Amino acid sequence: MFPKNMFFFLILTLATASAEDDDFTYNGFGSAKLRLDGIAEITPNGLLMLTDTRQPAKGHAFLPTPIRFKNSTTGSKSSLESWKIGLPIILAILLLLIIVIGIILLVNSRIKFREVFEDWEVEYGPQRFCYKDLFLATKGFRDQHLLGAGGFGKVYRGMMPNTDTQVAVKQVSHESRQGMREFIAEIVSIGRLRHRNLVQLLGYCRRKRELLLVYEFMSNSSLDKHLFNQPKPMLSWGQRFQIIKGVASALYYLHEGWEKVVVHRDIKASNILLDDQMNGRLGDFGLARLYDHGNDPQTTHVVGTLGYLAPELAKTGKATTSTDVFAFGGFLLEVACGRRPIEIRASEQDIVLVDKVLECWKAGTILEARDLKLENEYIAEEMEMVLKLGLLCSHPNFSSRPPMRLVIRILEREAPLPEMSEDGWNAEISGLGKEGFDDIGMSDSSLLTMSACSASAMGSTLLTGR
């Protein structure tokens, strides 16, 4: 509406200008004798008012006679001469109209890309991304650039403007009750993590109620796409074993190698990304608690995925390094067996992966639980070690799980795998009980995993010391 009003204003200005000579002089609308309706009026200083921001009504103004160029009806000058007089004025009007429209487009663009930026964020300058750059990098967050979506938001691939840098941009809805400043400070803190097997968090951008997290881009997508629902193995055993060791190294760094203890809380194949060399990189590290900032601490639900949740979470509601080790145990088994920890469509005795591996171990045939698509292309000693280590890390008693420093030594064959007692395992399971679940038809260890999902409170993830 504004460009149309401006054009009308320019036409009226032309019509009411002094025509006594060849000069173009604006003397106001007071002497124009315009016909007005609605709320239109001529102000005391000669301006024409057609709208009022205080009310939705509007007005109109009409010229009493048609617009004519100077001497156009006297016949004293030819039509060509009349156009010579009027054309520059018309061109000037069009030029002004183009300028006005350009200004409007610029203002609208600034509104579209407007971000929230507060003084305290100056100290986080290098980690702050411009929303406009991210919008352009992802082509407006188009579906063609969508890499994946989950409970925490959508992830898009992008190419940063004027560079050859590819990034992954995650959109997260966020309302922080604990304060945006603390929230951003925690993101920036995690952005200082440096490890070859962690996906690097490059920075953030916030706009309105939307938070954008920017990661380095991993060209070979997530591990689960290479493991599951594939007719033939896309990863050799050597590649799988190397990925396992890389993720173990990253988790040890989070637990013990950095200035703070970072509990991941969602270790699984879909959160392991593969770089161009097929190295495993642990992603979304430490961000589970960041997402929780928008929730009341008394009502925060368990963060994690069915099949990876330690049984003690149902009782304590507190994530620890030991609950991470439990999830890592599930990760070891899914990599070695080529299937997810929970397979609803599997036969009843095979629904829960840890149950299947446990039964094979008890029967002395643990290698039968391996991914059969590998056929005989694997190292039996390594496969057996990974399967047994997966069971040990998935032990129902948190005190029986090894810390990540010991896991690293076992994988590097610098320490022997601790012996597991079948009696001790069964005692731990039976001691926890399964009241109220007898009719479900699942084993005790299955129920331990399932029951953890009903917990209603979750503690801190990013701890402040060791």
Residue with tokens 């990189």: 281
Give the whole-angstrom CA distance, residue 438 versus residue 351.
16
Contacts of 251 (CB under 8 A, 6+ apart): 264, 267, 282, 324, 328, 404
201 is written with which tokens?
A: 């968090």
Active-site residue 266, yes or no? yes
How far apart CA 302 and CA 424 sit, in angstroms, is 28
Is 170 annotated in a binding site? The answer is yes
> For residue 255, which of 309, 320, 348 has the smallest C-alpha distance?
320
Contact by Cβ (8 Å): 299, 439: no
Q: Find the helix packing angle between 444-451 and 422-432, rounded to 10°.
A: 50
How many Cα neighbours within 13 Å face the side chain of 25?
7
CB contact set of 15 (below 8 Å; sequence gap of 6+): 32, 63, 67
Catalytic residue among 266, 284, 324, 371: 266
Residue with tokens 């999830």: 327
> Residues with catalytic annotation?
266
Binding-site annotation: residue ranges: 170
Binding-site annotation: residue ranges for ATP: 170
